[in-house]
Amino acid sequence: MAMNQDITDVDRSLYDFKDDESDFYRLDEGLTEEIVSRISDEKHDPAWMREFRLKSLRLYESIPVPNWGPPVDELDMDHIATYVRANTDMKGTWEEVPDDIKNTFEKLGIPQAERESLAGVGAQYDSELVYHNVRQEVADQGVVYTDLESALTGEYADMVQEHFMKLVPPTDHKFAALHGAVWSGGSFVYVPKNVTVEIPLQSYFRLNARGAGQFEHTLIIVDEGADLHFIEGCSAPKYNVANLHAGCVELYVGKNARLRYSTIENWSKNMYNLNTKRALVEEGATMEWVSGSFGSHTSYLYPTTILKGDNSHCEFTGITFAGAGQNLDTGARMVHLGKNTSSYINSKSISKSGGISTYRSSIEVARSASGAKSSVSCGSLMLDSESRSDTIPAMDIRTADADIGHEAKIGRIGDDAVFYLMSRGISEEEARAMIVSGFANPVSKELPLEYAAEMNNLIRLEMEGM
Amino acid sequence: MTQTFKVGHLPSITWNRLGLNEEPVEASLSGNLPGSRYLSLPEGTCMRTLSFEEAEAQLKSCAPVQEQEKYVAGKAPVYHPQAFGTGLGKDYENVLKEAGVPVEWIELSSTEQEETITCRMNLRDGESASCAQILHLKENTRVTAVYVSESAEEAGGVLALSVRAVLEKGAFLRLVLVQLLGSRFTALSDVGLSAADNASAQLIQVELGAQKSYVGVQPELIGKGASFDSAMGYMVTGQQLLDINFNTVQRGTQTLCGMTFDGVLNDHARKTFRGTIDFRNGSSGSKGEEQENVLLLSNDVENRTMPVILCEEEDVEGSHGATIGQLDEQVLFYMATRGIDAAEAQKMMVRARLGAVARRVPDEAARKRVQDYIDRKVNCDTCVRAAECPQAMNEN
């Protein structure tokens, strides 16, 4: 996370620096049974997980690449290293983390953010976590926040086995199967019944290695009546070869619980971001997604919410900014199963300099979901005619007792608005950036202040030279 | 012989599991014209009957070239483009061609007054028939074309309709399509339009009959200031299936598109609506709007709606909206205060919703038959019933 809040001082070097990886442990590029077995060995998997990985690999080989969505033809798994480990194990204090890696996270503002506004931090560097810590008072509440590998063999092993890739099975799609085969790193969070975590937890994922993939798995269980805000950040330096991120997020929101999951995604523009996020929401519970997609060469990202319990609720607030060379296919999916469930999607997208932004969604209301309500509002801003913006929403409604509304608008920055601001002495470039920031306001106002500032910085960066 | 093919391809496909990318059809199409058909053309109109291939060659010589998109939603489109786009698409065109369907080429020239074409098709039980026409409207010609398809209430069969229209500069076409076929029919209705500078097309479409009905419309607004305006009303009940695919391509500057769809679903009805507004590069100053309003009257219906906007031009305004659900509780409360129960209120609202489209049918006889058909559907035992009215159940 960038803590520099003076937007005029931000430059791209903030995210684009690279560390020397000559002494890192790196498995061969490609995807074979041998490589998957070696990952399993490295991670000391329990037997069931080893078998799970190999089964997922077989599924990956049999499932075709999606025929919809942006092209992924240039993503060659034979040239992706699926496991890269820095020369350190996971530490509990920043002082213990090797200097070069610590400096990386210092530049990204993570330790400072932890001191000032977070209840716990997990920092992943390439394939493994290098730092994990949770405040003592939060741990004293019974909150578990640890790396997934530790959880897999520790006290919560049964809970992990019960939930791991049950919401996103490897049969779901090709990249879920890939994730099942080579996943590494990520966090496990358990918030006990009726516990409110007052300040957010954050995981930050940094992919430093050239031509590598990152496949972290985040598993969060928020028990009955509990409350959590979890923040996810990610970045990578830019290379001239493809990098891949195929993470997976599984969220279980218990009865009357609340979970907010915020993401500021700023992968480098050589990244294929093929991420899968899904939440299961029980009776009376609330799921909130806040999502900002700024980076990546290609993205497939559609957080899915299954409103299983009666009276459960979900809100999705997202923004996508597609600049030169980017093809970002983002949106959300809501599945209404319980009675009197409700969902709200507020999505914004911006396309400029030849960028392609696609909003894709589905609202599915099952026969059992009587009293369901859903509202979708989708706005797209085109900043030039080299760019492209498509809106592809679907609604599948199977009960009469539902109230579904959808509206979408596409357009450009109005000349009147620019003229008005210019008449107040603001330059045209500044005026356009202000209008775009205003357009993104529904998303930024949902973020904690420092993250909103980072998002505005990213928008400002993208708008430079317009 | 039964043909199996796919119609109504989305230009921008999405998740396959939703089953919305296209609709499979099984039907036995024949090249025969309807046995009972009344066709009335303006006096002095030139009509020629051509083979499908001859008609395509002729179309190529007079219609503007339709450019295909290189990318849709970030990738090369996977559907098969047509030389002259239609809503049901390439597969349907091929099936018509293979069935040897003759094409009636109707050339219409400007006169002082608006002319009318009427085509009434009354199909008998078991009949499989096709009707394919190309309307060529010369500069500034104004025409209303009314197509009504009917049969006995319980009759079954197949009707394949194809209407393609080339609108030269300043031409105006009001196209009226009314489908009142029997409850065992399969109906296919395919429209393709190309509009040059300041040409405009208006479509009024009513879909009430047939067991399975597939509707496709593709207007290409090529010229500056070309416009397309449509109003569609449908009521789908019993075991009926209705599949709708509208794809408006806006290529010229300052083109306008407005599409509204008002529908009612009851019993075990299944309906899919795909509506695309496609702003192509160069369509600066264009506007496009679409709105679908669906009234659901039974918990066993399946309603699928896909309002799509594709945009590769900055200076455009596009919007779409959809409202899907039951009658508003405030409306029901208002009616109740006037002594009207929920079931009767629903009947009134169904009549009002469909009546708004039906009243726009210019042919008085056709309009009367549409009103009668709506009344029959609304009043029949399997339609709006108090016992199955979800809101009535809630009140109990």
DSSP E strands: which ranges in A192-254? 201-206, 213-214, 217-222, 227-235, 243-245, 248-253
A154 in Cβ contact with A163 (< 8 Å): no
**Phi and psi torsions of A105, nearest 5°:** -75, -30
The answer to whether B73 contacts A402, with C-beta atoms less than 8 Å apart, is no
Residue B148 to residue B369: CA distance in whole angstroms = 10
Has residue A5 got a pLDDT over 70? no
Chain mean position to CA A413: 28
pLDDT band at residue B396 using 50, 70 and 90 as cut-offs:
very low
Q: Is there a contact between A232 and A262 (Cβ–Cβ < 8 Å)?
A: yes
- Grade residue A170 by pLDDT with cuts at 50, 70 and 90: very high
Whole-number Å distance between alpha carbons of B108 and A331: 48
CB B111 within 8 A of CB B84: no
User: Which of A389, A395, A404 is the closest to B311 by Cβ?
Assistant: A389
| Arithmetic mean of pLDDT, A11-35 | 75
Calpha distance A214→A86 (Å, rounded): 13
Strand pairing report for B184-195 and B46-50: unpaired
Per-residue pLDDT averaged across A8-36, rounded?
Answer: 72
For residue B127, the 8-state DSSP code is -
Do B293 and B286 touch, CB atoms closer than 8 A?
no
Report the distance separating Cα A23 and Cα A130, nearest Å: 15
CA distance B44 to chain A (A): 46
Distance from the first to the final alpha carbon of chain A: 25
- pLDDT, average across residues A158-172: 97
CB contact (8 A) between residue A329 and residue B73: yes
Task: Report residue A59: phi and psi, to 5°.
Answer: -65, -45
Q: Which residue from B minimizes the CA distance to A375?
A: B323
DSSP of A51-74: HHHHHHHHHHHHSPPPSSSS--TT
What value of ipTM does the predicted structure carry? 0.92
Residue A155 has pLDDT above 50, yes or no: yes
Q: Is the pLDDT of residue B60 over 90?
A: no
Q: What is the mean pLDDT of chain A?
A: 89
pLDDT at B78: 59
**Predicted local confidence at residue A453, as pLDDT:** 76
For B380-389, the pLDDT digits (tens) are 744 444 444 4
Q: In the prediction, which pLDDT does A301 show?
A: 97
Residue type, A439: F
Number of Cβ pairs < 8 A linking chain A and chain B: 167
Verify whether the Cβ–Cβ distance A404 to B323 is below 8 Å: yes
3-state secondary structure of A391: strand
Confidence of residue B74 (pLDDT cuts 50, 70, 90): low
**Lowest mean pLDDT: which of A143-157, A275-289, B145-159, B189-203?**
A143-157
pLDDT value of position A444: 79
Percentage of residues of chain A with pLDDT beyond 70: 94
d(CA A339, CA A347): 25
For B18, residues 6+ apart whose C-beta sits below 8 A from its C-beta are A362, A394, A396, B304
pLDDT at B332 (0 to 100): 87
Averaged over A412-417, what is the pLDDT? 87
Cα–Cα dist A303/A331, whole Å: 7
Shortest distance between the Cα of A365 and any Cα of chain B, in A, equals: 10
Is B197 strand, coil or helix? Answer: coil
Q: What whole-number percentage of chain B has pLDDT above 90?
A: 78
Closest partner residue to A406 (CB to CB) among B15, B303, B307 is: B307
- Per-residue pLDDT for A30 more than 90? no
For residues A169 and A434, which has the higher predicted lDDT (pLDDT)?
Answer: A169
B307 contacts on A by Cβ (under 8 Å): 393, 406, 408
How does residue A465 score in pLDDT terms, banded at 50, 70 and 90? low
- The DSSP bridge pattern shows strands A187-191 and A201-206 to be unpaired
CA distance A335 to chain B (A): 12
Local structure of A306: helix, strand or coil: strand
List the one residue out of B248, B247, B257, B178 whose CA is nearest residue B213.
B178
Nearest-CA residue of chain A relative to B14? A68
Decide if B18 and A329 are in contact by the 8 Å CB cutoff: no
Is residue A391 within 8 angstroms of chain B, CB to CB?
yes
Q: Poorest-confidence range of A363-372, A384-393, A431-440, B99-108?
A: A431-440
Residue B173: its pLDDT value, please?
Answer: 97
Burial (CB < 10 A; 0-12, 13-18, 19+), residue A398, is: buried
Predicted local confidence at residue A460, as pLDDT? 74
A390 contacts in B (CB within 8 Å)? 12, 72-74, 308-311
For the ranges A258-262, B1-5, B215-219, the lowest mean pLDDT is seen at: B1-5
Question: Which range has the top average pLDDT, A282-286, A407-411, B333-337, B341-345?
Answer: A282-286
Contact (Cβ atoms closer than 8 angstroms) between residue B226 and residue B19: no
Mean pLDDT, residues B105-127: 92
Residue, of B345 and A280, whose pLDDT is higher: A280
Q: What's the 3-state SS for B81-113?
A: CCCCCCCCCHHHHHHHHHCCCCEEEEEECCCCC
User: What is the pLDDT, as a whole number, of residue B389?
Assistant: 44
pLDDT tier for residue A122 given thresholds of 50, 70 and 90: confident
